[in-house]
Structure 1
């Protein structure tokens, strides 16, 4: 099974596991670093705790053991996506309207490849920001990464 197929299957399994709970699936990654990692990122209103991660991890591990779709050895990690999480799905963008985000682009826009501004809107066509008091629209296919901006 290819990595994208594994991610799709795990997304389906996790959504079945968390159905009816306060948890929400943010993302699934199956990546080869030094070893293979299957990462599941969850969120919920007020934040997730270790107990939430353990609850999902145990159930997901049981389902994956039953189905045995992954032939490689891998490490399963279930966690929060963190403060600087990438925004990928429509729900992510909707949840963070009005928040400060970083948009990284493939090519410079106005001489910059990283723009920081307030998220005004987002759809399949583009991302609208307010940058330094001015509205700006970035075509979605020109954005390589969009994530929450964290200031210290």
Structure 2
């Protein structure tokens, strides 16, 4: 049987402990950063805490030592407010949230008919919504308005005509990256996105 890659080993370890693997990142100096989250449960508020990170860190240290993985420091943490969305499960989980979306290729002239979007545009910010499937593949769309933001204390005329909503449909194969928009809510409303927790980081034992 072929040996697992380090990424596969990390994913199996994280999911085996009952968590979701969000991201694996290697940075300069040998830092191996692993981001985890709680499995999605509809309408449940579940957040990663320091104990969760420490639990995963201890287990990963053990399995990575067995595998002989090369790294100098391991850091396990929860997603930040700009959590990446990678799988279909992530998109299902965060439907209705404000996201930043980058396409692999510009949308093209045909897609800009009747809109103010440039044919060369690849980056969008808007609300993630379900859309009609495309060729049997689950469809998604991002919806936004070009309405300028209202500044605090600014009076808005009742006669003001709101800018129309715009929507762009896409499939997961068409996107380069997607993340929750890092918008901080100061009104006390609980966001659907997972809150961050302190990272647990460790160095491999010699």
Asked whether 1:8 is paired with 2:8, we answer yes
1:140 is matched with which residue: 162, 168, 172? 172
1:128 is matched with which residue: 141, 154, 166? 141
Structure 1 unaligned spans of 5+:
none
The alpha-carbon deviation at position 139 of structure 1 amounts to 4.1
What is the root-mean-square deviation of aligned Cα atoms in Å? 2.4
Aligned to 1:35: 29
- Separation (CA, whole Å) in 1 of partners of 2:81 and 2:48: 12
| Length-normalised TM-score, structure 1 | 0.78
The alpha-carbon deviation at position 35 of structure 1 amounts to 2.1
Q: Is the 8 A contact 2:32 2:71 kept in 1?
A: no
- Separation (CA, whole Å) in 1 of partners of 2:178 and 2:101: 5
Asked whether 1:102 is paired with 2:100, we answer yes
Aligned to 1:26: 21
The alpha-carbon deviation at position 144 of structure 1 amounts to 1.1
| Length-normalised TM-score, structure 2 | 0.60
The alpha-carbon deviation at position 76 of structure 1 amounts to 0.9
Mean Cα deviation higher: 41-50 or 91-100: 41-50
Instruction: Specify the structure having the higher radius of gyration (Cα).
Output: 2
Structure 2 unaligned spans of 5+:
39-44, 108-116, 146-164, 185-206
Equivalences, count: 141
Q: 1:85 to 1:59 in 2, by over 3 A?
A: same
Q: Is the 8 A contact 1:41 1:81 kept in 2?
A: yes
Aligned to 2:149: none
Q: Is the 8 A contact 2:84 2:178 kept in 1?
A: yes
Name the one with the larger strand percent: 1
Name the one with the larger helix percent: 1
The alpha-carbon deviation at position 6 of structure 1 amounts to 1.0
- Separation (CA, whole Å) in 1 of partners of 2:179 and 2:94: 10
Higher relative contact order (CA 8 A, sep 6+): 2
